[in-house]
Amino acid sequence: MTADDLDLLAEMPSTIAHLNSHQAILRHGDDSHQCCVLLQGYLSWQDAQRANGQITSISVPGDIADLQTLYRPRVNGNLIALGPAVVALVPHRFFRELSARSPALSRTLLLMLLRDHAIQRNWTINLGSRDALTRVAHLLCEITTRLQNVGLAKDLRLSSPFTQSDLAAACSISPVHANRTIQALRQGNLLQWQGKTLVISDWPGLVRLAGFEPNYLGVRPRDQSARPAQLESDKAAVVPA
């Protein structure tokens, strides 16, 4: 990225919005005229046909959660905050001007869209060909890797994006099954989960269980020699409902 590209990005106009847990930013059928750049927290696209709809994707900080609306403004689904979140709302016209003025930044936006599609394809595989245990393990591997790619979760400790119901909706299982699955991962000494804090205790073991390969994310595999953080106590994991 050149100095001129950085100068262009510095011109980005934005409105900062603070979102409450499960607050909707966009709803099915809306016509969007701006993109949502996630600064803190997590966002998810959800099926609009049910009150507690299937979660079809999760965004982490640094993602443009609705980049596709730059090309197709009509929204198909609900964009919801998973827990408190902070976003920057950037007009579509800025990204169009950016693409016209910088081939490199135009290519970056295209690569972001292609990565989003690759993640979506992998989610389809996750739901269609893996059992509940490996679905949850794979999802946790993906979220952790994406966070590390933007400088977060370096010690394998992260703020969980899920309530029990959210995890169930993302993995197409019941909330009860989701909680049992987390208990099984904990009993296998793969992770610790208390309240809103998740710690991966055995990253190589979780990766093996999930069959996780990060190539589709376009990032390098993390250093498996890193020592995981530890929770202060080792009580039974309780995922908020």
In order, the DSSP letters of 131-164 are -HHHHHHHHHHHHHHHHHHTT--TTSEEE----H
> How much is the pLDDT for 234?
47
In a domain, 229, yes or no: no
Q: What are the residue ranges in the chain where pLDDT is below 50?
A: 225-226, 233-238
> How much is the pLDDT for 23?
94
- Return d(Cα 219, Cα 140) in angstroms, integer: 16
> How much is the pLDDT for 8?
86
- Return d(Cα 25, Cα 80) in angstroms, integer: 6
In a domain, 113, yes or no: yes
The answer on 161 and 107 residing in a single domain is no
**3-class state of residue 47 by DSSP:** coil
The answer on 175 and 74 residing in a single domain is no
> How much is the pLDDT for 154?
84
Task: State the residue range of the domain holding 10.
Answer: 3-119
> How much is the pLDDT for 157?
93
Contacts of residue 206, defined as CB under 8 A and 6 or more positions apart, other chains included, come to: 137, 140, 141, 185, 190, 191, 200, 212
> How much is the pLDDT for 88?
97
23 φ, ψ (degrees, to nearest 5): -80, 135
The answer on 61 and 9 residing in a single domain is yes
Helices (H) and strands (E) in the chain, counts: 7, 8
- Return d(Cα 182, Cα 164) in angstroms, integer: 9
Q: Left if phi > 0, otherwise alpha if psi is -120 to 50, otherwise beta: which for 58?
A: beta
In a domain, 191, yes or no: yes
In a domain, 150, yes or no: yes
The answer on 12 and 46 residing in a single domain is yes
The CATH number given to whatever domain includes residue 68 is 2.60.120.10
> How much is the pLDDT for 194?
81
Q: Which residues on neighbouring strands pair with residue 74, listed in sequence order?
A: 31
Helix axis angle for 103-129 and 132-149, nearest 10°, is: 160
> From residue 45, how far is each of 52, 133, 194 by CA, in Å?
12, 22, 25
In a domain, 28, yes or no: yes
> How much is the pLDDT for 237?
45
What is the tens place of the pLDDT at every residue in 152-211? 998 999 988 778 888 999 999 999 999 999 999 999 999 998 888 899 999 999 999 999
In a domain, 237, yes or no: no
Structure tokens at 141: 């591997």
The CATH number given to whatever domain includes residue 152 is 1.10.10.10
- Return d(Cα 190, Cα 158) in angstroms, integer: 14
In a domain, 236, yes or no: no
